[in-house]
């Protein structure tokens, strides 16, 4: 199948009024395989994207999770007059209550959502370019609203061009640790905290085969994931949290991304603390040479949990990436206490709810108001604690 044959409907040409824009055409591709060559080319060094938007992460999500949820690929590709790709937005189309919403692929499993941008175009992108994009999508008429959540304002100090969209703060920020290049260990984790962790770790170091490592073989990865999918549901039940990992297709998606090679690692890397007798803790995340982003974790149900193995593993991960020249590390969206032990600040993200049709106008207002209300609850400690108690009582 040619790429042209895979494109849904006709190409929406840029309106003449936006002559300042380099965008000459906007295509919608509904076939992952057709989009793959351009998608992968925009992952190359020099372009702008996060590791959460890699093809090898989102393609299995769409096939294994998105399709089960009824989401259809809605991949937006913009080109210049010479048909060179300028950016790709990896979206999926959801239909609920008669409203068609285009959202970033990845659902609950991506901390950050962003397009994949040609580096030169991203550096010069203007509001006029965003106007052209929106005009092209409105002209098609097959989406009512763009619901683009958890977008970073910038990535590696390079602005996200979609900041030109109407926007509001996301419900949560993301706990972030900045690691100064060449900084001493105490600049990322205080000496007193290190001493406390070292004291706890002495108990674990007596275990035969005690070690920290990054899973390197398919067998190791499969073994660690088998353990994770047994232990994590128990941990989440203890906290009265819904088990997102039990949703249809999620386990297969995670296994696919953890096993998929990328460079000298995997699309999702698995870090583990274990001994000969048991897995003690794991953290999984994505890395791009500058930043490590945690996706999921859990720790043992045995008596060894009393020695804070998750914190010890986190210390090892932080030191590993700092020594490799990484500048930042984040622990994913959430307000867990352990995140504040390492991350003193938050990285702000933004949401954009943009109506494309008259029907989408009401949906955009409702989505915006709902997320704004959730953010107010999270920021008000009394309301947040009340919401937590209600969730425990009725969840």
Domains of the chain from N-terminus onward? 3-170+350-394 (3.40.630.30), 180-326 (3.40.630)
Output Rg (C-alpha) for the chain, integer angstroms: 22
The answer to whether the CB of 281 falls within 8 A of the CB of 313 is: yes
The reported pLDDT for the residue numbered 333 is: 87
Length in residues, the chain: 395
Q: What is the mean pLDDT of the chain?
A: 90
Count of helices and strands (H, E) across the chain: 12, 20
Residue with the larger pLDDT of the pair 97 and 87 = 87
Q: What is the pLDDT of residue 371?
A: 76
pLDDT digits (tens, 9 = 90+) for 75-95: 999 999 999 999 999 999 999
Q: Tokens for 388, please give them.
A: 């937590």
The tokens describing 15, both together, are 């309106």
Determine the pLDDT at residue 367: 83
pTM of the model as a whole: 0.89
**What's the average model confidence in pLDDT over 301-307?**
97
| Statement: residue 104 has pLDDT above 60 | yes
Rounded average pLDDT over 253-281: 97
pLDDT for residue 21 is more than 60: yes
What's the pLDDT at 380? 59
Residues 6 or more apart from 301 whose CB is under 8 A from it?
231, 234, 235
The residues near 226 (Cβ < 8 Å, ≥ 6 apart) are none
Is the pLDDT at 186 greater than 90, yes or no? Answer: yes
Reply yes or no on whether the pLDDT at 30 is more than 70.
yes
Res 171: pLDDT: 86
Residue 66 in this model has a pLDDT that exceeds 60: yes
Task: Please state the rounded mean pLDDT for residues 208-229.
Answer: 98
How far, in Å, CA of 207 to CA of 227, rounded?
19
> Over 70: is that where the pLDDT of 216 sits?
yes
Beta strand spans in 288-363 (E): 291-299, 328-330, 345-347, 349-355
pLDDT beyond 50 at 6:
no
Report residue 344's pLDDT band, with 50, 70 and 90 as the boundaries.
confident
Confidence of residue 19 (pLDDT cuts 50, 70, 90): low
Rounded to an integer, the average pLDDT of 281-299 is 97
Once rounded to an integer, what is the mean pLDDT over residues 312-338?
Answer: 94
Nearest-angstrom CA–CA distance, 33 and 236: 36
**The pLDDT of residue 240:** 86
Phi first, then psi: what are they for 347, rounded to 5°?
A: -100, 125
pLDDT tens digits along 241-265: 889 999 999 999 999 999 999 999 9
Q: How confident is the model at residue 10 (pLDDT cuts 50, 70, 90)?
A: very low
**Distance, CA of 285 to CA of 331 (rounded, Å):** 9
Q: Is 298 helix (H, G, I), strand (E, B) or coil?
A: strand
DSSP 14: P
Q: In the structure, what pLDDT confidence band is assigned to residue 133 with cuts at 50, 70 and 90?
A: very high
Which comes out higher in pLDDT, residue 3 or 133?
Answer: 133
Nearest to 168 by CA among 379, 333, 368: 368
Residue 20 clears pLDDT 90, i.e. is over it: no
Whole-number Å distance between alpha carbons of 232 and 299: 8
Give every CB contact of residue 250 below 8 A, 6+ residues apart in sequence: 64, 65, 109, 244
Helix boundaries (H) for 42-114: 55-61
Give CA–CA dist 54/71, Å, rounded.
18
Confidence at residue 97, expressed as pLDDT on a 0 to 100 scale: 83
Beta strands 99-104; 145-152: pairing state = parallel
């Amino acid at each position: 199948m040619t790429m042209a044959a895979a494109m849904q409907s006709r190409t929406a040409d840029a309106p003449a009024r936006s002559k300042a824009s380099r965008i000459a055409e906007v295509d919608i591709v509904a076939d992952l395989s057709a989009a793959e060559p351009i998608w992968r080319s925009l992952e190359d060094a020099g372009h702008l994207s996060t590791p959460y938007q890699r093809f090898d992460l989102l393609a299995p999500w769409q096939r294994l999770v998105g399709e089960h949820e009824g989401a259809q690929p809605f991949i937006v590709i913009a080109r210049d007059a010479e048909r060179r790709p300028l950016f790709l937005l990896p979206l999926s189309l959801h239909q609920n209550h008669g409203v068609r919403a285009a959202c970033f692929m990845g659902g609950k499993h991506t901390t950050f959502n962003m397009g994949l941008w040609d580096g030169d175009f991203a550096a010069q992108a203007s509001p006029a370019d965003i106007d052209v994009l929106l005009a092209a999508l409105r002209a098609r008429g097959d989406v009512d609203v763009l619901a683009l959540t958890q977008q970073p304002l910038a990535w590696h100090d390079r602005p996200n061009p979609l900041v030109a969209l109407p926007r509001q703060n996301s419900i949560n920020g993301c706990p972030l640790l900045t690691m100064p290049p060449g900084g001493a260990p105490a600049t990322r984790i205080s000496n007193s905290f290190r001493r406390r962790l070292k004291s706890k770790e002495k108990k674990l170091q007596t275990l035969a085969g005690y070690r920290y490592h990054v899973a390197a073989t398919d067998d190791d990865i499969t073994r660690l994931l088998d353990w994770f999918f047994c232990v994590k549901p128990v941990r989440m039940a203890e906290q009265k949290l819904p088990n997102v990992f039990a949703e249809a297709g999620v386990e297969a998606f995670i296994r696919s991304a953890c096993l998929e090679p990328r460079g000298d690692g995997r699309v999702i890397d698995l870090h583990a603390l274990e001994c000969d007798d048991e897995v003690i803790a794991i953290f999984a995340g994505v890395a791009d040479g500058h930043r490590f982003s945690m996706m999921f974790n859990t720790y043992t149900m045995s008596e060894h949990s009393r020695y804070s193995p998750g914190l010890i593993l986190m210390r090892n991960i932080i030191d590993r990436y700092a020594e490799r020249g990484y500048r930042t590390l984040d622990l994913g969206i959430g307000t867990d206490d352990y995140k504040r032990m390492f991350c003193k600040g938050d990285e702000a993200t933004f949401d954009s709810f943009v109506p494309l049709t008259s029907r989408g106008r009401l949906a955009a207002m409702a989505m915006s108001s709902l997320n704004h209300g959730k953010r107010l609850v999270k920021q008000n400690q009394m309301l947040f604690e009340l919401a937590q108690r209600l969730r425990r009582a009725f969840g």
